[in-house]
Amino acid sequence: MNEKYILLVEDNPEDVEFILLALRKNKIFHDIVVAKDGEEAIQYLFGEKQEGNSPEVVLLDLQMPKVHGMEVLRMIREDKRTCSLPVFVLTSSDELTDIIRSVELGSVKYLSKPLEFSEFVEVLGKITPHLTL
């Protein structure tokens, strides 16, 4: 795997495909590691799947099986190895409490998943400043 990779934490296969296409449309060609639930994300960041280098960016859904996205974000911020890792919450929730909590926990940006692909491309373009292209 290339040193530059993005960890995508997303359980919906259709959203994964949209996100991957939108990243390519933004000329983001990093390797993408997909964690299908919060527990798998934790394994990539801290456990047996961790390969010595952290992702450049994490795209994190909130409504995840096994471990909720907010808990994953909290763990990222509390660990000295990942506390400065850029985490973008990318979720379908537009609950004000989710937005406030993700900001309190240190997400770089709270991004709502749009319905239209062109809007997906625009939303994911916001992560570009945090990547080495």
Each residue of 94-106: pLDDT tens digit?
A: 889 999 999 999 9
pLDDT at 133: 63
What average pLDDT does range 110-120 have in this prediction? 88
> What structural domains does the chain harbor?
5-127 (3.40.50.2300)
CA 128-18-120 angle, to 5 degrees, is: 50
Predicted TM-score (pTM) of the model is: 0.91
pLDDT at 85: 94
Each residue of 35-91: pLDDT tens digit?
A: 999 999 999 999 866 666 789 999 999 999 999 999 999 999 999 989 999 999 999
Q: Which of 33, 40, 108, 98 is nearest to 77 (CA)?
A: 108
pLDDT at 52: 66
- What average pLDDT does the chain have? 90
